[in-house]
Structure 1
Amino acid sequence: MTGGARERLLPWTGSDGKPCYLVGDGTGYVSRLADDIEDVQLGMADDLLGHADELLAEQRVTSAELHYLAMRLTECLRDVRRVAESRGERLSPPESP
């Protein structure tokens, strides 16, 4: 990597489930798209937490509803962890050549 180029973990995986990375200065189209997707993922996680609070406050919740909620929470937690990892990596200074 040269100049201001840095490696960034993207908020999606490849078709084989492996992480995708972008090398650049953080100002290009793919970087902006990744920022937008991260914002959507964080918003969806926030919405799901609100739904979880409401569902868990109910007196009668079926095991199927709890299972579905757990599956969605797991997906959101995975996305939020990836966003945190990506942003944390970008906070650290770039490695020297």
Structure 2
Amino acid sequence: MTTSNELRLLPWTGPDGKPCFLSTDENDGYMSRLADNIESVQLGTATELLNQAIGMLATDTAPNDMRLLAKNLTGALRDTLRVATSRGHRLDSRPTDHPFR
């Protein structure tokens, strides 16, 4: 099993909004693959919302539509930051004999 400083931050929260972590030595295990897939969906959603925002900012958009966009962008940014944090922690926990470190 991984040590406590090698826990993977998962791309979702628990029912109470607290972060969820995964402790495993298997990078290709079911939960790791599920987390990878969800991260991919979250990043894809963020990309789509960014493109939508660029288009909406170039036009005269109704305030309610902009408010909805801001709400969706906020959620996408939260998810993207969680993905970046998780991936950053996993980079930090690589073995020190890694050739790119």
Fold conserved between structures, TM > 0.5: yes
* 1:70 maps to 2:70: yes
Structure 1 match to 2:22: 22
* 1:56 maps to 2:36: no
Identical-residue share of aligned pairs (%): 55
For 2:39 and 2:82, the matched residues in 1 are separated by: 9
- Counterpart code for 1:56: L
For 2:69 and 2:93, the matched residues in 1 are separated by: 38
- Residue 93 of structure 1: CA displacement? 2.6
For 1:30 and 1:41, the matched residues in 2 are separated by: 16
Structure 1 match to 2:99: none
- Residue 61 of structure 1: CA displacement? 1.2
Instruction: Note the residue ranges of structure 2 that are not aligned, 5 or more in a row.
Output: 95-101
For 1:93 and 1:77, the matched residues in 2 are separated by: 24
Sort the Cα spacing of 1:49 and 1:2 in 2 relative to 1 into closer, same or farther, 3 A: closer
For 1:54 and 1:2, the matched residues in 2 are separated by: 44
Q: TM-score, normalised by structure 1?
A: 0.88
- Counterpart code for 1:50: N
Bigger strand share:
1
Structure 2 match to 1:40: 41
- Residue 36 of structure 1: CA displacement? 0.3
- Residue 2 of structure 1: CA displacement? 5.1
The number of equivalent residue pairs is 92
- Residue 54 of structure 1: CA displacement? 0.6
